[in-house]
């Protein structure tokens, strides 16, 4: 599919064909594209939990205020962010020259160590970028998605056994849509959302 077309066709889909499946092999192929997403210092804060157990899925649905798509999509993912991902730097940079490691590790430590709010921002930022890649990679395969923050994070964290160094960033439903495309929701005009030089500068007119 032509890339602009993929971007234009993606919509958040809430009604799914419950009898359709996506195999682990198909999911793996998709995820191989998703993990190519960017992250600061390449720390890859994300982990994706594919919830295949129907019992756990039903409980997540209840914790997501009963949202139908949680129960009917082909794949339900809990996209998680790692708060202390900066501590993984030695593993991530293991094949890099020692000289570069010596430069980068203190830099990474200075950025993240003891900065709880920033660690959380970064976990959400990186995981969200990966979530966007996922939605477009899914759309490219003709699969529908909807990202969700409408859930009780503590309940979901408990249901999928998250340790305290992980947060559930969003849920993602993925599958085969059971509805016609809706008119696109209102988008603010480009002149308003793209400003030149400063927030109060002129809008981009092109
Ligand atoms: C972070 C985030 C959280 C969202 N949470 C929910 C949700 O809990 N339930 C839902 O039905 N849609 C959810 N959405 C989908 C938005 O409603 C949707 O993206 C928006 O209305 C724009 O529509 P579009 O995605 O079809 O372009 C969420 C989207 C984002 C980006």
Domain ranges of the chain: 3-193
Ligand 1 contact, 79 CB (< 6 A): no
Homologous superfamily of the 3-193 domain (CATH): NADH Oxidase (3.40.109.10)
* Nearest-CA residue for atom 12 of ligand 1: 148
**Which is the closest atom of ligand 1 to the Cα of 14?**
11
Q: Which tokens in the block code for residue 91? A: 């593993």
- Give the pLDDT confidence score for residue 127 in this predicted structure: 98
**What is the reported pTM?**
0.97
**198 Cα: distance to centroid of ligand 1 (angstroms):** 28
pLDDT of residue 106: 96
Q: Which atom of ligand 1 is nearest to the CA of 11?
A: 26
CA distances from 190 to 3, 194, 204 (A): 20, 6, 7
Is the minimum distance from the CB of 185 to ligand 1 under 6 angstroms?
A: yes
Q: Which residues of the chain have pLDDT under 70?
A: 1
pLDDT reported for residue 204: 98
How much is the pLDDT for 1?
61
pLDDT of res. 206: 86
């Amino acid at each position: 599919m032509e890339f602009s077309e993929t971007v234009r066709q993606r919509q958040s889909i809430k009604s799914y064909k419950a009898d359709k499946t996506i195999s682990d092999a198909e999911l793996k192929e998709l995820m191989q594209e998703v993990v190519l997403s960017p992250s600061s210092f390449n720390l890859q804060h994300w982990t994706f939990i594919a919830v295949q157990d129907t019992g756990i899925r039903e409980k997540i649905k209840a914790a997501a205020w009963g949202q139908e798509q949680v129960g009917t999509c082909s794949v339900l993912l809990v996209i998680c962010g790692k708060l202390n991902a900066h501590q993984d730097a030695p593993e991530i940079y293991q094949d890099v020259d020692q000289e570069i490691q010596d430069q980068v590790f203190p830099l990474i430590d200075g950025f993240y160590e003891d900065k709880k709010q920033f660690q959380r921002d970064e976990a959400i930022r990186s995981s969200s970028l990966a979530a966007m890649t996922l939605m477009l990679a899914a759309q490219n395969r003709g699969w529908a998605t909807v990202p969700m923050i409408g859930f009780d994070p503590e309940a979901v964290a408990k249901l999928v056994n998250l340790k305290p160094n992980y947060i559930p960033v969003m849920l993602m439903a993925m599958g085969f849509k059971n509805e016609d495309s809706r008119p696109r929701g209102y988008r603010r005009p480009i002149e308003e959302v793209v400003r030149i030089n400063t927030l109060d500068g002129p809008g981009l007119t092109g």
